[in-house]
């Protein structure tokens, strides 16, 4: 009997020493048990959650998501792996003085249990803190989408976003505008002031433009001295107003301090059209409009629509 007791004590000690918290959650969303996760550098103390429902301690939207994952796992009856963010302040009654600050990112490994818990099907949910990995991945993602010189998005990001916009247009007929923008006489800027100054103008244009855009707009360096602007949920009239306002703002800007230089841009605008089968046709119309703007004396915009 002593040997059995000793083995049970060792087993319980091992379970409580698990580095990551292990939750037992029922089909109705009740916390049935919690073991492990004692490292306060990476986890908060969630012992108080036992016998409470997800809806007692979490915002409804988050509780809905957790319950959905439990139910999907039980239906599929196999291990599932999910990633999610959760802050200590999201959980009612949690002591946020002990544990990590801000939003924590977790990898959740969810496995169905074969035996019911108080007449309910249940899962075991192992939560592993992957915040550092998530932050690194987000940083690498941003680097892969950003133009190194200007800090604007790059051509790849613009093309990916435009592809999604075309898909949304086909599904919902959401008006979306694309603007191509070229710095007027950029070669002469390099010739007069040098390539270092030219790079400064490119950075200034990008920072200036991004500061004047709305939330949800996307500004990208398309190549060389050419930039592109994606305006989701934007009618032709609104897109023309935004384009003209940006053109005037750039013409009034000071991009080389102390230099006698006025920087202007030519711009071509196109809306996504029902006949568009690819993003190339949208960009082609915007590019044609851009070259018309150049032929019309530059420092202006032309709408393909």
> Which active-site residues does the annotation give?
225
Joined together, the tokens standing for residue 234 give 């934007």
Residue 136 CB coordination number (10 Å): 11
Q: Rounded to an integer, what distance in angstroms lies between the CA atom of residue 45 and that of residue 12?
A: 18
> Locate tokens 């037992």: which residue?
24
Q: Which residues pair with 231 in a beta bridge?
A: 177
Please name the residue that has the structure tokens 């049935």: 32
Do residues 270 and 304 lie in contact, with contact meaning Cβ atoms separated by under 8 Å? yes
Interior/surface letters 3-41, b for 16+ CB within 10 angstroms, e for the rest? eeeeeeeeeeeeeeeeebbbbbbbbebbbbebbbbeeee
CA-based angle 145:146:150, to the nearest 5?
A: 160
């Amino acid at each position: 009997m002593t040997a059995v007791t000793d083995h049970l004590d060792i087993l319980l000690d091992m379970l409580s020493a698990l580095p990551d918290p292990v939750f037992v959650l029922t089909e109705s969303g009740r916390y049935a048990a919690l073991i492990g996760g004692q490292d306060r550098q990476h986890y908060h103390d969630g012992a108080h959650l036992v016998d409470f429902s997800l809806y007692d301690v979490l915002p409804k939207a988050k509780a809905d998501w957790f319950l959905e994952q439990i139910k999907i796992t039980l239906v599929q009856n196999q291990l599932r792996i999910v990633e999610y963010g959760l802050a200590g302040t999201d959980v009612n009654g949690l002591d946020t003085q002990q544990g990590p600050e801000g939003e924590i990112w977790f990898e959740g490994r969810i496995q169905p249990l074969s035996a019911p818990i108080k007449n309910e099907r249940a899962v075991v949910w192992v939560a592993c803190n992957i915040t550092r990995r998530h932050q690194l991945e987000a940083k690498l993602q941003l680097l892969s989408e950003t133009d190194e010189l200007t800090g604007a998005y790059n051509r790849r990001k613009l093309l990916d976003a435009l592809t999604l916009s075309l898909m949304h247009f086909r599904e919902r007929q959401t008006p979306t505008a694309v603007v191509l923008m070229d710095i007027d006489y950029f070669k002469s800027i390099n010739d007069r002031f040098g390539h270092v100054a030219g790079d400064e103008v490119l950075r200034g244009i990008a920072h200036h433009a991004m500061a004047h855009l709305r939330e949800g707009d996307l500004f990208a360096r398309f190549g060389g001295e050419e930039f592109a602007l994606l305006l989701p949920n934007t009618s032709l009239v609104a897109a023309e107003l935004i384009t003209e306002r940006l053109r005037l703002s750039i013409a009034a800007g000071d991009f080389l301090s102390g230099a006698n230089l006025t920087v202007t841009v030519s711009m071509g605008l196109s809306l996504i059209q029902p006949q568009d089968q690819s993003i190339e046709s949208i960009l082609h119309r915007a590019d044609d409009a851009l070259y018309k703007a150049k032929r019309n004396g530059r420092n202006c915009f032309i709408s393909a629509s």
